[in-house]
Structure 1
């Protein structure tokens, strides 16, 4: 039987980042249980990508993985163009809209999930105090007075002071602890794919709000700067139709939906679709069990903030678990209040944006267009939105703070 300070269930991006952050903050022994193998990095882009803001970049730099990530494919962007397909309103964000002392030259980075995970995994493997268990899944968690017993079907059990559930939206850890969820079906499916855009992406993230939901074009690293990852949020029925279309018909539908702003669009490879659901765990901390990332919360991808929120969980948990100035119970209570409030604020913001672009009558569309145009012209409002996109927030965890 092996004993650890922290057992992390889930070796995805957030789980691995949690392990590295804990090791950076304190001399602790960490176990990671995950049976999902690393994806090979091939010439074909991963259809699952993340939009990282500067707070996440700073966090990954401090974990000593940013260089490894940037040595693989990554695409920075300095501009963002958002428009309403049902009106004349639009927003144009440019990194030069804010003072040079307030940014690092980028609005953000689009990076394939498989590349981020591989860099984190390889960095964790270099640490002798992080031990991987990859042969089989856990079968049970049993709570003791001062520790948690985690058992496998055939391997020797693990004993840990704390267990971190970083095992995704359908968290086994959360279910084992019977932690209740607040959830709402967005009645949207997200169709994701890699596409080639005739006019190129121009280091810009593009997003159009259609009657059925938002369609985002996220710039990808490529020789001719003409590849994008799309996230098309739409009704389940239309998502099914889009997946069933021939490539030729899909390309026509995508080009039309984007108003031709990126030229003719051509899908490259597979199309995937998955349902979108808002989830919010009633407890982020349950005795010695702690939830991070999608195990604690999932949000609509329209602003690309999911993994950034998860990295903040990892950073905050490492800070609180290693804080010697307060008791462990008080530290975890603080973590729960901190992260639940942040997640709820993000969920509410996503819901407000989604509702604002839900099809409305003509007078409301007119007002919406005026509002977007005013924001686009008002420098203080634009600067505030850009800083929020960069990750500037009140009370950022230490490892995620943006320091010039």
Structure 2
């Protein structure tokens, strides 16, 4: 029989804030650590279905972090710089048939194709962001949380191996978190995301009918260091993200998006995949030397209209918005969600309603601009309108020529919309 710990009463909000964080992935751990640091009176409990003794450090999934996210993790002393590869340059380009259009040279004289180039040196920063494996991101975050919890066992609690089975709002008296034993909290933050195909459908959802094939490729020895590429093709975007060299070989993470109806990648040999990729990517990448095993994920939009639900449940990261990877901003949005929430709670622990309203308004421009941008781009790859690829290429060329606009775009990609 379940027991409700800390049952609600009329005086319960006079004490310290009781905060539940559901999900010990990057967003959940970041939020828990921030709250432990900036809300010194709050009681914080971190829940995750994963057992504590399961080693996450070897998880090879690749994550792209914006500069603002790197700064946040450095502040938390949970950033393994040695395991990350800096992004020094980002190239966004359009594949043929745009390359020879006569209007192109009007915007980009001397260039061979429509391309927007963003560089750290142009922005006056050491790097635009960084690429790191999931394991090398989560392991330091988890170690930092466990160390902090050991120092403050009376207010910081870990519930690893305890999957949350349900959340129940208690009519203005907080929320019940059911993880085998029901516990009462003032606020629950859901940071469990998952991939589109496995998620329950949210208020805004659209299946793009596209697959993303992800894996690792080997670069030519003379390929540019720290360069990330986004290539718009007729089928969808192809992205390369720089990785730390391995066994003396230069590497990059690959995200290759194609329509499901035209997806024949599974039937290709490695040599065929390599040949197709080399034909799609810009010349500046250099010739790829090899392509490793690829995994396939279905792509879609799955987003809540609001971050706050019933006044006591907040969703952040992929739990709030799962996006197409075309802009690589999903995790970065989640980390900005976490930071904004904790900042709003500082000094307002006794007025949760006002703090949560502030979070909703503050995060709306960043959330909705990114949701709208990625949704538009993802849908546009399914359109077969005459001249659309040329129009997209010309738009890229015009953006490259509009220096102030390009600089504003770079700042937004590094730090979000402010």
Q: Which TM-score applies when normalising by structure 1? A: 0.84
Return the alpha-carbon distance in structure 1 between the equivalents of residues 35 and 329 of structure 2.
Answer: 23
Structure 2 runs not aligned, ≥5 long:
7-16, 100-113, 150-154
RMSD: 2.6
Alpha-carbon offset, residue 251 of structure 1: 2.0
SS in 2 for 1:324: coil
Return the alpha-carbon distance in structure 2 between the equivalents of residues 161 and 352 of structure 1.
Answer: 38
**Larger Cα-atom Rg:** 2
Aligned ranges for residues 165-204 of structure 1 at < 5 Å?
Answer: 165-169=190-194, 181-198=203-220, 199-204=222-227
* Structure 1 residues 136 and 322, CA gap change in structure 2 (3 angstroms): same
Aligned ranges for residues 305-344 of structure 1 at < 5 Å?
Answer: 305-324=329-348, 327-344=351-368
Farther-moved stretch of structure 1 (214-223 vs 48-57)? 48-57
CA contact (8 A) 1:180 1:283 kept: no
SS in 2 for 1:133: strand
Q: Who is 1:30 aligned against?
A: 44
SS in 1 for 2:212: strand
Structure 1 residue runs of 4+, over 6 Å off? none
Q: Who is 2:106 aligned against?
A: none
* Structure 1 residues 231 and 170, CA gap change in structure 2 (3 angstroms): closer
Alpha-carbon offset, residue 259 of structure 1: 4.8
Farther-moved stretch of structure 1 (187-196 vs 4-13)? 4-13
Decide which of 81, 84, 102 is 2:91's aligned counterpart. 81
Deviations 1:99-157 (A, max 9, x none): x3xx2x1111111122111111111101224322122323333333523222334xx43
Decide which of 100, 103, 118 is 2:139's aligned counterpart. 118
* Structure 1 residues 140 and 93, CA gap change in structure 2 (3 angstroms): closer
CA contact (8 A) 1:190 1:231 kept: yes
SS in 1 for 2:359: helix
Q: Who is 2:415 aligned against?
A: 391
Number of aligned residues = 375
Decide which of 221, 233, 237 is 2:257's aligned counterpart. 233
* Structure 1 residues 274 and 365, CA gap change in structure 2 (3 angstroms): closer
Alpha-carbon offset, residue 159 of structure 1: 2.2
Structure 1 runs not aligned, ≥5 long:
395-404
CA contact (8 A) 1:164 1:292 kept: yes
Q: Who is 2:174 aligned against?
A: 147
Deviations 1:223-243 (A, max 9, x none): 54610000111112444x313
CA contact (8 A) 1:323 1:331 kept: no
Return the alpha-carbon distance in structure 2 between the equivalents of residues 379 and 356 of structure 1.
Answer: 25
